[in-house]
Chains A and B, each alone.
Chain A
Amino acid sequence: MSALTPDRRTRAEHLVALYPEKRSALIPICHIAQEQEGHLTDELMIEVAELVGVTPAEVQGTVSFYDMLRIEPVGKYVVSVCTNIACLLAGGEEMLEHVEKTTGTRRGGTSSDGMFTVEEAECLADCDVVPCVQINNRFVRTTTPETFDALAARLRSGETVTDIPTSGIVSRVERSVGLVADPEVVAQERSALRASDQKATS
């Protein structure tokens, strides 16, 4: 039995086909697997291992290196507040403390209703709209306590905010085609062009 839903399993198989070596699809597939429950369960990691041809331990070892890959459950909305240098100068630390109050969660934790996980982030590369806040990796650009609270209230009331899918979803746009350039054709084209290029330059 597949731990991945059938459509995700298909998407994962498509990803494997994009790389010269299967293992390259490990992280992209983990992102897809995370869409299911917001984090990676043992069953999901075993399936990722099988898909890319490594052991479950190798998947776990890789996953543990990356901040965005999670093995613990998270809330529906993961709020990341940057406190790195540009945000520090703009009150990022104070913003993080405010977010903790509004959501009733300390950094690193999840609110008891499962709504919000709060994280202190390193620089998110949006340093002209500071302090920088992301919710589920979307830049929400709430730079004041008031605008953040207004957004949090909308999310809490169950309103769907189109820009913010539930946690775990990185990209909602899928690749429309697999690889189309046949490796053998590519190899022939390259050697032909190299030969003519050399003739031209010598």
Chain B
Amino acid sequence: MSQLTAPKIVTSRIGFDDSFTLDRFLATGGYEGLRKALTMSPSEVCAQVDAASLLGRGGAGFPAGRKWSMLRKNDVSYLVINGDESEPATFKDHLLIERDPHQLIEGVLIAAYALQVNQAFIFIRGEFALGLERLQSALNDAYAYGAVGTKILNSSFSIDLVVHPGAGAYICGEETSLLESLEGKRGFPRIKPPFFPAAIGLYGEPTVVNNVETMSNLPWIISNGGDAFAALGETPSTGTRLFALAGHVRNPGVYELEMVKNTFRDLIFDPALGGGIPSGGRVKAFIPGGVSAPWFYEEDLDTPLGQGQVADKGSMLGSGSVVVMDDSTCMVRAAWRITRFFSRESCGQCTPCREGSGWLERILYRLEHGEGRVEDLDLLLDLCDNIAPGLSWPPQQTTICVLGPSIPSSIHSAISHFRDEFLAHVKEGGCSYA
């Protein structure tokens, strides 16, 4: 049974047509969290975020409080917000940026104060034209209102925020690539160590990189207290989370749900949420956390929506995107399309990722189009093993960033569970789903 009683922490305003305006924001408690934060000391604000046990919402799920405590002490430091949102089928930050930009700005200001950074940048993927316009308008209004700029809200804290447009590259969502891009360069990820942003980040200075949704939780946490947040969900997966539900469901969309208290079955089948499979068919497979994640199947539907719960079953909650594939879906085609995405978006620095992704894509393509061979299945797995030795989860890394080791997820999942379907493609000389 779904548990839908939890408060809406980040989507409380989106029902209003004018949810993105300063007027609506102020009429619904906007900037109150910031006001309160400014009466606290920076370390008190950090303590609240720690108490909340807020996990990063960008993909890796690292506790925000811990990340903040690792920021190297330095005279100059920066805060950079990751609004690149390009992981396929992830579309939750899109909603937050377009529909509640002031909430994001308020969260960024709270974090900037807690971290005592010198300047903050909000990186938004360039394809979000409306989002960029809404966010820039909101920022202009926030400056005029006095929430950003010199001595904000009459405190002794001054800060500038800059909205920065990306230019179309999935890899720029990876935090070190994002910093390169923000420095005006090609989006080549940096090698860690030594380039952990908290130590050597933007312009070589210590930098915190956090996701849009992570930031959007902060106003509520400060207004209501970290303990109130931690009381929702189940440690360490506290609070609520946005789940972007797509694919073969009646009601695709973004749902804010209390963590752990609901399962994938609730999300996909509850009439108030996904509403089930339109064709009346069955769940053949679903992706629990973005296309970098290993797939789940019908027997995993009762897994709770919690970070540890999904990890225990060998995948990840990742970016919070759930893609449902019903029994009319060709698994070879699905794996091929996801692999082609990675091959197009690989930045090309590392051989296993650059060469491997293209090779895998070509093999999957020929299987799908009736020119595959039985040996191709082992060849695919062997190549995957070269990129992520052992094909374990989380993967072993052979490359600078984890884009490479994520490529095998869908291929390994599809072959492990639907080997017969791959063999049928070989035997029948092509796809019987098309």
Contact = CB atoms under 8 A, between A and B. Distances in A.
B185 A173 contact: no
B259 interface: no
Interface string A127-148: 1101000101111000000000
B88 to A, nearest CB: 4
A21 B158 contact: no
A25 B158 CA distance: 22
Contact of A24 (B42, B182, B186): B182
A153 interface: no
Interface in B202-216: 203
Interface string B120-158: 000001111110110011011001100001100000111
Nearest to A22: B184
B185 A23 contact: yes
A48 B136 CA distance: 23
Given A21-B183, A84-B341, A86-B88, A125 B125 contact: yes
B185 A85 contact: no
Contacts of B119: 20, 179, 181
Nearest to A19: B162
B126 to A, nearest CB: 5
B156 A30 contact: no
What is the interface of chain B mostly: helix, strand, loop, or mixed?
mixed
B116 A194 contact: yes
Interface stretch (B189-197, B242-250, B389-397): B242-250
Nearest to A132: B91
Interface stretch (B166-174, B263-271, B310-318, B400-408): B166-174
B188 to A, nearest CB: 8
B75 A187 contact: yes
Interface residues of A, number: 68
A187 B118 contact: yes
B165 A171 contact: yes
A54 to B, nearest CB: 8
Contacts of A175: 136, 139-140, 162-163
Interface string A154-169: 0000000000000001
B399 to A, nearest CB: 18
A28 B164 contact: yes
B404 to A, nearest CB: 17
A125 to B, nearest CB: 4
Given A65-B169, A130-B246, A190-B116, A27 B184 contact: yes
26 contacts: A20-B119, A26-B184, A27-B164, A30-B167, A54-B184, A65-B187, A69-B167, A84-B88, A85-B247, A85-B291, A86-B246, A89-B247, A122-B86, A123-B87, A123-B88, A127-B89, A127-B321, A128-B245, A137-B127, A170-B165, A171-B132, A171-B136, A180-B149, A185-B150, A197-B43, A201-B41
Interface of A: 18-21, 23-28, 30-31, 52, 54, 61-62, 65-69, 80, 83-86, 88-89, 122-128, 130, 134, 136-139, 169-177, 179-183, 185-187, 189-194, 196-197, 200-201
